[in-house]
Amino acid sequence: MSGVRFRSRSSLAVSLLVPLALVALTVAIGANGTPSLQGTVTTILCNLIIVLGLQVFIGNSGVYSFGQLGFASAGAYVAAVLTLPAALTALQTPGLPDPIATAQLGPLLSTLIAAAACGLLAAAVGLPLMRTSTLAIPISTFAFLVVVYNVLANWDAVTGGSSALVSIPRTTSVESAGLWAAAAVAVALAFKWSARGYRLQATREDEVAARSLGIGVMKERLVAFSLSGVLCGIGGALAVHQSGVLSPTTFYFAATVTTVTMLVLGGARSVFGAVLGTIAVASVNEVLRGIEGGAEILGLVAIGDTPGLAAIGVGLILLATMIAMPNGLTGGREAGELAWLGRLLGRRRPRDRAAKSPWPDVPNAAEMVKAERARDGSLRAEGISVAFGGLQVLRGVDLELPRGEALGLIGPNGAGKTTLVNVLSGFLAPAAGMVRLDGTDVSGRSPNRLARTGLGRTFQAALPFPHLNGLESVAVGAMGVGVGRRDAVAVAADVLARLGMREKAVLPAGSLPPASQRLLGVARALATGPRYLLLDEPAAGLSEAEAEELVAILRGVLEDFGCGILLIEHEMSVVMSLCPRVQVIDDGITLRVGSPAEVQADPAVIEAYLGSSYLEVASA
């Protein structure tokens, strides 16, 4: 559409094809090997699917789940009972109801059913689990893993209890596992680069900023958790049809540690990392197992007690990775984003080219996002009061911000300016008072819902998305309010051009200087197409010339977007030149609302800023 893209076609191709080539190579090695090697390679490929499942959730959300192997376990059991012949089912799991007990499905159908079942299970389990806090999710998911184990090990009539199910048809070949793994790579990449994927990544980078862009953290996590459940279920189903035996410990604590290690070693944020890490850890593991002595090589999801050497190796790899390179082998980047890999493949550095080439014409973001935009309307706060413990921060503050106007909000430090913005944007519930947006009472709405209603904001701290580049960071703003990926890129390109930040588009937001990060925050909020934009000290850290530039940019925003701007700012020249009206608050109450000149002449305002003694001296 616009010609502006997150990544060049060649970078995209490399990111997709390199991991696929690694999978193909693994398949090729396995297919031409001894039967024992074939089994090992098939198991590695099954593990890869599970690790990709972990990547979808952990990599994109940044939240560790230790429960995903529970889905692999569930998928394996579903696939096993669906494929066991009726006679064997009657022996091993006599309590199964009839259609399942007698069913003897083919490998494809049973895998698909297992995948669907695990997706549903993950959605059902995730619904309560994702409600818990970021701190609690690792623990509550771990508890889920134990619950799955406990049920599988004790529900003898249906699962065969703690003894292993045996004689499960061994239908998974190296090739079929390879095909599934390749599909899983494509799915994981497609998810990561979808609007949903970007929204989730934004919550990983900064939860608060993501919410201010309209992103529902819980919902995005739940979607990824469910997709992860599907992939883990497929991995489990394929693995059980490789080994032919299954017990509740097959996918339990040890397998959790192994798969997490694979993900972390490669670099959790990267799909390529998941592939690389799986192959690397699996290789080391095989070697260690060889040393361990004579034990039949079964791959990683081993059954029975192999005395610890391989597991110690896995633990040491994990420990060393966390201490020495927490971003993993890939640094969290995809194959197309790795400079050394680019050189290896003889590509020119795409970054330089993108920065130099002029941007093609992009459609006007203002046009795209202001679908319905009546010119009138206002953001009103009525009688807002807030107390932190015994400290009364706001006492009955009113505020009115009409569409298309800039209102300056000034006051000494501690006056309650940011608290008021937090109330307006839904981050803080006031003890009393009401917020109306274009006449609708929006008090008590969540920040993300308010953002989708047309309320954008920035923060005093820039809260950048360090691992996303400038273009992605801004596009997330549009995606957060439901704009599709393609359009979001176009909007982001336009907004960045408006703010004179084109050259920042390809740089990771975390590498920008603070002033640029703050401006990027403005761009991000603008991309949500706000009707009202609340800016918390956007000019902090800017030079005089840059501040003037910012004023010009904001004038353009007022004109083109027609939104109202509430500007908190200590740099008076910025406030005075942009805002026809200024509201002064001090100690939680409004001192004065008026034109800049009126406000500056008001004795009460001068006293609040400079103290009463100044007034006496000045009048003397």
Partner 1 sequence: MTELAQNLIDALALGSLYALIALGVTVVYTVMGMMNFAHGEFIMLAAYALYVLAGLPFAAALGGALATGVLIAIAAERVAFRPVRNADLSAQLVTSLAVATILQNVVTGAVNARPQSVATPAVLGESTELGAVSVPNLEFVTLGLTAVVLAGLGWLLYRTRAGLAMRAAAENFEMARLLGVRADRVVALSFAISGALAAAVGVLLVMQTGQVSPTMGLTPVLIGFVAVVIGGFGRMVGAVLGGLLLGIVSSLLGAYLPADLVPFRDAIVFSLPVAILIFRPRGLLGAATGEARV
CA atoms within 13 A on the CB side of 56: 29
- Which of 24, 29, 143, 186 binds partner 1 (CB under 8 A)? It is 143
Q: How far is the CB of 280 from partner 1 (least distance, A)?
A: 16
Q: How far is the CB of 535 from partner 1 (least distance, A)?
A: 14
Q: Is the dihedral of CA 340, 341, 346, 348 positive or negative?
A: negative
In degrees, to the nearest 5, what angle opens at C-alpha 506 toward C-alphas 505 and 509?
75
Q: Using CA atoms, how far apart are residues 620 and 618, in angstroms rounded to an integer?
A: 6
**Residue 311 is a binding residue for partner 1 (CB under 8 A):** yes
Q: Which of residues 316-355 bind partner 1 (CB under 8 A)?
A: 316, 318-319, 322-323, 326
The piece of 102-110, 142-150, 341-349, 405-413 that touches partner 1 (CB under 8 A) is 142-150
Q: Which residues, including other chains, have CB under 8 Å from residue 13's CB and lie 6 or more apart?
A: 336
DSSP string, 570-586: S-HHHHHHH-SEEEEEE
**Residue 147 is a binding residue for partner 1 (CB under 8 A):** yes
- Phi-psi region for residue 170, left (φ > 0), alpha (ψ -120 to 50) or beta? beta
On the 0-12 / 13-18 / 19+ scale of CB atoms within 10 A, 508 is middle
The piece of 49-57, 233-241, 355-363, 455-463 that touches partner 1 (CB under 8 A) is 455-463
Interface map 265-284 toward partner 1 (x if CB under 8 A): --------------------
Residue 359 per-residue DSSP state:
P
Q: Which residues, including other chains, have CB under 8 Å from residue 339's CB and lie 6 or more apart?
A: 349
**Residue 387 is a binding residue for partner 1 (CB under 8 A):** no
What are the C-alpha distances in Å from 404 to residues 114, 407, 424, 530, 559?
A: 55, 10, 18, 11, 7
Q: Which of residues 237-256 bind partner 1 (CB under 8 A)?
A: 253-254
- Which of 104, 132, 443, 446 binds partner 1 (CB under 8 A)? It is 132
**Residue 418 is a binding residue for partner 1 (CB under 8 A):** yes
Q: How far is the CB of 425 from partner 1 (least distance, A)?
A: 9
**Residue 315 is a binding residue for partner 1 (CB under 8 A):** yes
Nearer to partner 1, 63 or 341 (CB): 63
Which residues in 66-138 belong to E strands, given as ranges? none
Nearest to 563 by CA among 592, 530, 535: 530
Sheet holding 455-457, edge to edge: 455-457, 532-536, 564-568, 406-410, 581-586, 589-594
Nearer to partner 1, 95 or 482 (CB): 95
Q: How far is the CB of 530 from partner 1 (least distance, A)?
A: 17
Q: Which of residues 178-217 bind partner 1 (CB under 8 A)?
A: 207-208
Chain-centroid distance of CA 73 in Å reads: 26
**Residue 309 is a binding residue for partner 1 (CB under 8 A):** yes
- Phi-psi region for residue 270, left (φ > 0), alpha (ψ -120 to 50) or beta? beta
Interface map 530-569 toward partner 1 (x if CB under 8 A): ----------------------------------------
Let me know: does 496 contact 523? Beta carbons within 8 Å.
Answer: yes
The piece of 4-12, 259-267, 394-402, 560-568 that touches partner 1 (CB under 8 A) is 259-267
**Residue 620 is a binding residue for partner 1 (CB under 8 A):** no
Chain positions contacting partner 1, by CB under 8 A: 62-64, 128-129, 131-133, 135-136, 138-140, 142-144, 146-147, 150-151, 154-155, 207-208, 253-254, 257, 260-261, 264, 305, 307-309, 311-312, 314-316, 318-319, 322-323, 326, 418, 422, 427, 459-461, 463
